[in-house]
Amino acid sequence: MTTASPQPDGRAQHAHRRAMFWSLVLILVGAMIAPLSGYVYVAYAQDEAAWETNPRAETWRDAREGTSGYTSASGPYVTDSLIQSGGENWRNLRNGPVAGIMPWMMAISLLGIAAFHAIHGRNRIDKPLSGKKLLRWRTWERVLHWFTAIAFIILAITGLSLLFGRAVLIPLLGHAGFAVWADFSKLLHNFIGPVFTAAVLIMIVSWVRYNIPKKVDIDWFRKGGGMGKQHASAGRMNGGEKVWFWFVVVGGGAVCITGLVLDVPGFGQDRGIMQIANLIHAAVGIAWVALAFGHIYIGTAGTEGAFEGMATGYVSEEWAAEHHDLWLEQLRKENRIERPPSQTNQAQFTSKPNPGSS
């Protein structure tokens, strides 16, 4: 006796889409609302003037002229100049090209995603879903991914607040509240950064074997990643996922290393090295956020069935056949397909002979 394959639960799919939608809304609203917490605090603070800008700013501007003087202090990084001119050069680069030009990468990324979605729409699964699912991500892999993703979002919000706060938040909302939010952002960014770095390293070590470039990846790009009429074959990771992975290795590695240089003393870094590290950290970090927009889009609204894999660990067999056919073929050949417990139990039940049949 056999039973028909279970049909996909429409209510479960609706719940997944609703969870995805509200997750994205929460991220966007959090990015806009979080900086306002400082202004709420200041609204109830008794001494708002304490959070205003330094009234001696003109004095410091005079000191930046670099006039030589004398100091009785000693140390490897102490000179006879009250203010290093390198600091002014760093500030001009940070507030100029890095903070003034690099953000356009994020805007272009969002506009490109919006235009692509308007023209192409969602990449849907061609074949009807049978209800058969197979394991793609184990529990520890999903926990690692979501922990890293949440930490990345927090670091992005706090880092961008610190980078653009003076140019964007202060003119809109004033100095007082931003001072509170910037102080909190700095502490949160500095504490989460090293933990995030460790999580990224674990991800790289765990998944590098799936992301070795192969000849099939060239063909995947040539066929547009399966977005057109041509089917693009792929193993467990396709060409686009491998590009993202190696950017995390190289670009993400640069962000993490420079973050540790800025965050952790004891590497022998002087002020000049920290200034260079800060510029690299900010510039590559912005590029990482811009590319992350695409990664988030493809994994949620851009591709039907992709979010389900990282949310539950299982993907539909039709999704696997369409996007990762070589991986599915290998699993079948090696008899390594793992089904959800409900489907496994059902298969065991239906395989038993029916006593009433002849």
- Specify the amino acid at residue 202: I
List the domain range (segments joined by +) for residue 323.
105-349
For residue 103, the model assigns a pLDDT of 87
Average pLDDT of the residues in 332-349? 81
Domain membership flag for residue 325: yes
For residue 1, the model assigns a pLDDT of 44
For residue 194, the model assigns a pLDDT of 96
For residue 342, the model assigns a pLDDT of 83
State the Cα–Cα distance between residues 314 and 331, nearest whole angstrom: 14
Residue with tokens 């004033």: 174
Domain membership flag for residue 50: no
Domain membership flag for residue 209: yes
250-265: pLDDT as tens digits: 999 999 999 999 998 7
State the Cα–Cα distance between residues 307 and 173, nearest whole angstrom: 37
Here the CATH number for the domain that contains residue 171 is 1.20.950.20
State the Cα–Cα distance between residues 108 and 116, nearest whole angstrom: 12
Q: How confident is the model at residue 25 (pLDDT cuts 50, 70, 90)?
A: low
Q: What is the total residue count of the chain?
A: 358
**32-41, 90-99, 234-243, 299-308: which is most confident:** 234-243
Domain count, the chain: 1
Domain membership flag for residue 27: no
104-158: pLDDT as tens digits: 999 999 999 999 999 988 989 989 999 999 999 999 999 999 999 999 999 999 9
Closest CA relative to residue 310, chosen from 298, 318, 321: 298
Q: How confident is the model at residue 227 (pLDDT cuts 50, 70, 90)?
A: confident
Tokens at residue 96, please? 């100029």
What distances in angstroms separate CA 16 from CA 10, 147, 312, 339, 342, one per listed residue? 10, 19, 10, 19, 18
Domain membership flag for residue 84: no
